Amino acid sequence: MAAANLPPAADAAAVPRHVVIVMDGNGRWAQRRGLPRAAGHRAGVAPVRSTVRHCVARGVQVLTIFAFSSENWSRPPQEVGLLMQLLLEALGREVDELGGQGVRMHFIGDRGALPATIVAAMERAEQRTLQNDRLQLVVAIGYGGRWDLACGARQLATEVLAGTLALADIDVERLGGALSLGQLGLPDADLFIRTGGERRLSNFLLWNLAYAELWFTDVAWPDFDEQVFDLALADYAGRQRRIGRTGDQMEAQKVC
């Protein structure tokens, strides 16, 4: 596959500041090859590594990946156990390399539902990469968009009850700031990528995807590489992000 034609790196508007990826299709990838689903999950580790490197190379500032959703707890216990084990192994193996690339790690999701060993490894990774600023890598584990909204609403309600926040002061910015990405000071998503052929958001970052450009591919996550990523980036670069404005307004803005 030939590399996609991308605009000059100097054109910052052509590169999404924040890319969000739902890494789907591991199980189906394995089944098509007559392998157990576990083989697909293991094969999905390498594309994470290459995607992080490519984000750094292309000038993406934030990468958020959906590693494990709040709904994934309903999967067979053996599969959940494997996913937790792969996560623990990856955290132990990859953090130093990520730190060397200037990557700062964050984790979002309900930590109360995770094994203590996983939480401890996540906290070590966050502390180890605290001073890095080349790429913000957000890993969503035990995360759900509705859970995030409920937590944010509960936080604001608690502040109102405590008298530290006026009800009239709750607005879009205040609620957004109470959500997982807002608490980290990170921007909303610009580009949403989902692999594996499905065309849905699956309860991921519902608030932060409000104006994201959506890009879907039939390529399963284990086969996702830099060339496929470049196709998504090139498609994004060719879109006009109006965010409620007209095309004429956008063109006039360029002239100005």
What amino acid positions are annotated as catalytic residues?
Answer: 24, 72
Question: By C-alpha distance, which of 65, 85, 64 is closest to 24?
Answer: 65
Phi, then psi, of 28 in degrees rounded to 5: -65, -35
CA–CA dist 104, 196 (Å, integer): 27
Quote the DSSP letter at residue 203.
Answer: T
Tokens at 206, concatenated:
């519902």
The owner of tokens 């083989």 is 39
CA–CA dist 42, 80 (Å, integer): 13
**Which residues, 6 or more positions from 8, have their beta carbon under 8 angstroms from its beta carbon?**
14
Phi, then psi, of 225 in degrees rounded to 5: -135, -175
Identify whether the C-beta of residue 13 lies closer than 8 Å to the C-beta of residue 6: no
Question: By C-alpha distance, which of 191, 172, 243 is closest to 65?
Answer: 191
How far, CA to CA in Å, does 105 sit from each of 99, 129, 140, 234? 9, 6, 11, 26
CA–CA dist 148, 133 (Å, integer): 25
Identify each DSSP E strand in the chain by its residue range: 18-22, 62-69, 103-108, 135-143, 191-194, 213-216
Tokens at 128, concatenated:
């180890």
